[in-house]
Structures are given as structure tokens and as C-alpha cells.
Amino acid sequence: MTWPDYDPDGPSTGALLKAAGLGVRLAPKHGDRTPAQVAALVGDAVAAIVSTDPFDARVFAAAPRLRAIARVGVGFDSIDVDAASRAGVAVLTTPGANEATVADHTMALLLAALRRVPEQDAAIRRGEWNRVGAHTGWLLAGATVGLVGFGAIGRLVARRLSGFDVRLLIHDPAYDGGDGSAVDLPTLLRDADVVSLHAPLVPDTHRLIGAEQLALMRPGCVLVNTARGAMVDEAALEVALRDGGIRAAALDVFEREPPAGSLLLERPNVVLSPHVGGISTASVREMTERATQAVLAVLLGTEPDGLVNQPRGRADAPAAGAAVVPAGRQG
């Protein structure tokens, strides 16, 4: 278990695994990890309930008993899914469990950046009282907001924005209309006062926002990213923020997590949070419960929810159901 808040004794989490005769080993992820470190952690495990740990072919080669990886969340870009399929490992996610939480957090970051809440907070703690002038906040009502990606989370963000009377621009190849104006990415970047990212991380969206795209944005624009850090070229973003190319940024995700040494940490016009967009008390409970159920389904040979791939059989893996033994008879 690398998810930091996994309850090893919870009646709907760890207790279920133990009742099935499985041992529970905790290895919470609180910083960066290499595939070699993950391989050492996994060892002889038959399943893993994980955070954003990197799983590549080297990890699967070092873990011949591994049958399932359950991501607590919906992103699986840290897992080489093709390698998992070849190794006979099921990759599982918990779709729908944290979408509302991400949408709420997007709004929190967006408003914090526009109203300059962190800057005002820091100034008061320094004994200042800067109500106007250089610290004056900006207005969301009536602004143009561009959403890059319009899946479930993007749609929930749009619903929350509707109360602010914004003009909505949407860039998503699958967008079918009805919520805002469908535009190409350059048009969205040129016209928006706020750009918020909600697309998945795939090869086409890796560093989707780089120096060229930032140059299209208005000097008064705010960039919000609660999707994936690798969608933004952080070095180019730091330059744009430093030189006034854009007004501010609000980031929950980073190219490297945690972003130790990043120049973005030194910028007062950047609002930061530690990849917690999808985390709330309600979402953590649902995601860990669903990850537990999915792992048990794989090990028992039944159909799991949230299956991402079609794993192939492997001769060195336990047969379906063989990894689970009656409670009290664990080897």
C-alpha cells in the first residue's frame, strides 16, 4: 500500500484484505520514487494499492507474483500499461470517485489566484495592510474562461462557473456543444482571461502549454492546472510569470512531485497545492474502498470495476483466486 492514507484495519479496506487471508504491507509515498525503489517495495506482493508510484517493465520483471495495481485515483500515466498487460498485471482505477472534488479544488485555486489570497495572507502576516494598489485582486465575474479538456471534470467546472456569468471557451476534440463556444487551442489561449487544464496526459498533451502557447496568452491571463504537471513546460511558465507574459498561475500538479528546487516556488504570483485536487475525506474513503474491492475481484477471478487494460496470462503468476486463502491460513 503506497497510498498514504490507506487504513490497514478499516472494515471496508484493510480488514477485508486480511479476512481474505492477505497480508497488508504499508509503504506510503510522501515524495519522489524511482522504478528501482518501487521494484524493491513490491517484491513478492500479489497486488498493490498505489499513489503515483512509477511502474515500468523493470518493476514487473522484479515482481513475478504481481497480479493487480489499483490506483487510488483516475490517472495512470505513472504506469506502463503495455508492460503491465504483457506481464499479466491488471491496472485498475477509481473513475468517478473524485471528480467533484477536483472541480471544487479548481475553483478554489482559480479564485485564490484571481483574488490574490496567498499574497494578501502573507502581507498581513508581515504586518502590512495592503487593501489597494499593487495587491488589488481581479474579478472573475464577466471574464472569459477557457477549459482545455471537457470530460467529466471539465463539465463540473463549467457548472460551477455558470454562477459567475463568465463567457466559456472549450477546446476538446470530443466536445459536442451546449455549454460554451468550441474553439481551437490558439483561439482559446488568445481570448481567455483564465485558462484551466482538464485533459488527460497522453503523448499529444505532453507539454501542451509551452513557450509558444504562453506567448499567445494575454498578459492579464491566469493559468490553472489541476490535471497533470507534465502538460505544462514549467521552465517556460516561470519565464512568462517573471517577465509579465501572464499574470498568475495556480498549480496543483507539477512535472516533478514534489517540485523541490523549482523557480515557481519563488514567485509570489503562483498559488500552489500538493496534488490534492482529487482528495477530500469523502473521495479518499470511496477511492480506497473501491481500490480494495477491485484488487479482491482480480485475485478472486471475478470482473473488477475500473479495469484499464486486458492483462495476458503469465506462467509465473498465481492462478485466478490462488492468491487468496481463508483467513487464518495465510502462508
Question: From the candidates 71, 105, 116, 275, which is the catalytic residue?
Answer: 275
Question: From the candidates 135, 160, 206, 257, which is the catalytic residue?
Answer: 257
- What does the alpha-carbon distance between residue 208 and residue 185 come to, in Å, rounded to a whole number? 10
**DSSP 8-class letter at 55:** B
In the block, which residue shows the cell 519565464?
239
Question: From the candidates 105, 228, 247, 290, which is the catalytic residue?
Answer: 228
Q: Strands, DSSP E only, in the chain?
A: 47-50, 68-71, 90-92, 144-148, 167-171, 181-182, 194-197, 222-225, 248-251, 270-272
| Pairing status of strand 270-272 against strand 68-71 | unpaired
Q: Strands, DSSP E only, in 203-244?
A: 222-225
Peptide bond into 203 cis (omega under 30): no
Q: Which three cell numbers stand for residue 257?
A: 512531485
Closest CA to 70 of 49, 44, 43: 49
Closest CA to 295 of 324, 266, 327: 324
Phi, psi of 192 (to 5 degrees): -85, 145
Please indicate whether residue 128 is annotated as part of the active site.
no
CB atoms within 10 A of CB 225: 25
Please indicate whether residue 257 is annotated as part of the active site.
yes
Cα end-to-end span (Å), the chain: 19
**What's the Rg (C-alpha) of the chain?**
22
- Which amino acids are annotated catalytic? 228, 257, 275
